[in-house]
Amino acid sequence: MSFSQTALLALASASLWYPALCKQVWPNARTDRLEWLLYEQLGGYASPGIAFFVHDCVGIGNETQGISFGAEWLRNAYHDMSTADTIAGTGGLDGSIIYELDRAENVGHAFMETRDSFSGLVTTRSSLADLYALGAVFAVGACSNGSMIIPLRAGRIDAREAGPSGVPEPQQDLATHTASFARQGFNATEMIELVACGHTIGGVHGIDFPEIVPFVPNDDPDDEHTSTFDTTTRFFENKVATEFISNTTKNPLVSGANVTTRSDDRIFNSDGRVTMRKLAQSNDYFASRCSTLLERMLNTVPKEVVLTEPIDYYPVKPRAAQVDINADGTMTFSGVIRVEDALLASPNTQVRLHFVPRNGSQCSDATPCSVTNGIAGNFEHANCVYTKCPATFSFFEYSLVVPSEQGASSFMVEIVNGGTGASVIHDNNGNGFPTGESLQPQYKLSTQETFLIPGPDNTFSSKQQLNLTVAVLNAEQFTNVTAIFYEHKIPGVNTGGWTTDSVELTLSQKVEGTNFTYYTTSYARMFNDAIGAHPFDLVATGPGVSVSNEFIDWNGFTSIM
Ligand X SMILES: *[C@@H]1O[C@H](CO)[C@@H](O)[C@H](O)[C@H]1NC(C)=O
CA angle 447, 452, 454 (to 5 degrees): 150
**Binding of ligand X by 171 (CB under 6 A):** yes
Phi-psi region of 383 (alpha: psi -120 to 50; beta: other; left: phi over 0): beta
Tell me the closest approach of the beta carbon of residue 227 to ligand X, in angstroms. 14
**Binding of ligand X by 288 (CB under 6 A):** no
**Binding of ligand X by 444 (CB under 6 A):** no
Q: Give the C-alpha separation, 21 to 428, whole Å.
A: 9
Helical pair 128-143 and 69-81, crossing angle rounded to 10 deg: 140
Backbone dihedral angles phi then psi of residue 48, each to the nearest 5 degrees: -75, -15
Tell me the closest approach of the beta carbon of residue 221 to ligand X, in angstroms. 8
Q: Give the C-alpha separation, 93 to 156, whole Å.
A: 7
Coil, helix or strand for 266? helix
**Binding of ligand X by 231 (CB under 6 A):** no
- Cβ proximity of 192 and 273 under 8 Å: no
Q: Which of 210, 292, 226 lies closest to 258 in space, CA to CA?
A: 210
Q: Give the C-alpha separation, 98 to 208, whole Å.
A: 18
**Binding of ligand X by 190 (CB under 6 A):** yes
Q: Give the C-alpha separation, 490 to 356, whole Å.
A: 44
Tell me the closest approach of the beta carbon of residue 420 to ligand X, in angstroms. 30
For ligand X, the closer CB: 269 or 346: 269
Coil, helix or strand for 161? coil
**Binding of ligand X by 357 (CB under 6 A):** yes
Q: Give the C-alpha separation, 151 to 94, whole Å.
A: 18
Q: Give the C-alpha separation, 203 to 72, whole Å.
A: 10
Tell me the closest approach of the beta carbon of residue 402 to ligand X, in angstroms. 8
For ligand X, the closer CB: 228 or 261: 261
Tell me the closest approach of the beta carbon of residue 5 to ligand X, in angstroms. 18
**Binding of ligand X by 246 (CB under 6 A):** yes
For ligand X, the closer CB: 47 or 261: 261
User: What is the amino acid identity at position 20?
Assistant: A
Residue 530 Cα distances to 232, 242, 278, 559, angstroms = 37, 45, 47, 14
Tell me the closest approach of the beta carbon of residue 95 to ligand X, in angstroms. 28
Tell me the closest approach of the beta carbon of residue 404 to ligand X, in angstroms. 6
For ligand X, the closer CB: 146 or 155: 146
Q: Give the C-alpha separation, 243 to 543, whole Å.
A: 71
For ligand X, the closer CB: 296 or 381: 296
For ligand X, the closer CB: 130 or 437: 437
State which of residues 15, 218, 247, 459 lies at the interface with ligand X (CB under 6 A).
Answer: 247
**Binding of ligand X by 260 (CB under 6 A):** yes
- Cβ proximity of 213 and 227 under 8 Å: yes
Contact code string over 459-498 relative to ligand X, x by CB under 6 A: ------x-x------------x-x----------------
- Cβ proximity of 226 and 206 under 8 Å: yes
Tell me the closest approach of the beta carbon of residue 170 to ligand X, in angstroms. 7
For ligand X, the closer CB: 86 or 189: 189
State which of residues 514, 517, 549, 555 lies at the interface with ligand X (CB under 6 A).
Answer: 514
For ligand X, the closer CB: 166 or 360: 360
Contact code string over 358-377 relative to ligand X, x by CB under 6 A: -xx-----xx----------
- In the region spanning residues 376 to 405, those forming contacts with ligand X, defined by CB under 6 A, are 387-388, 404-405
Phi-psi region of 43 (alpha: psi -120 to 50; beta: other; left: phi over 0): left
Instruction: Report the relative pairing of strands 381-382 and 433-434 from DSSP bridges.
Output: unpaired
Tell me the closest approach of the beta carbon of residue 148 to ligand X, in angstroms. 12
Contact range with ligand X by CB under 6 A, out of 59-67, 76-84, 293-301, 416-424? 59-67
Q: Give the C-alpha separation, 307 to 94, whole Å.
A: 12
**Binding of ligand X by 450 (CB under 6 A):** no
**Binding of ligand X by 220 (CB under 6 A):** yes
Cα torsion for 293, 294, 296, 301, to the nearest 10°?
A: 150
Tell me the closest approach of the beta carbon of residue 345 to ligand X, in angstroms. 19
Tally helices (H) and strands (E) across the chain.
Answer: 12, 21
Backbone dihedral angles phi then psi of residue 423, each to the nearest 5 degrees: -110, 140
For ligand X, the closer CB: 22 or 174: 174
**Binding of ligand X by 501 (CB under 6 A):** no
Tell me the closest approach of the beta carbon of residue 287 to ligand X, in angstroms. 13
Contact range with ligand X by CB under 6 A, out of 103-111, 181-189, 376-384, 430-438? 181-189
State which of residues 14, 20, 541, 561 lies at the interface with ligand X (CB under 6 A).
Answer: 541
Number of residues that this document lists for the chain = 561
Tell me the closest approach of the beta carbon of residue 72 to ligand X, in angstroms. 16
Tell me the closest approach of the beta carbon of residue 222 to ligand X, in angstroms. 4
- In the region spanning residues 90 to 149, those forming contacts with ligand X, defined by CB under 6 A, are 145-146
Q: Give the C-alpha separation, 425 to 8, whole Å.
A: 11
Q: Which of 404, 467, 472 lies closest to 439 in space, CA to CA?
A: 472
Q: Give the C-alpha separation, 511 to 328, whole Å.
A: 9
Q: Which residues in this chain contact ligand X in the complex, by CB under 6 A? A: 62, 64-65, 145-146, 171, 187-190, 211, 220, 222, 246-247, 258, 260-261, 357, 359-360, 366-367, 387-388, 404-406, 447, 449, 465, 467, 480, 482, 502, 513-515, 522, 539, 541
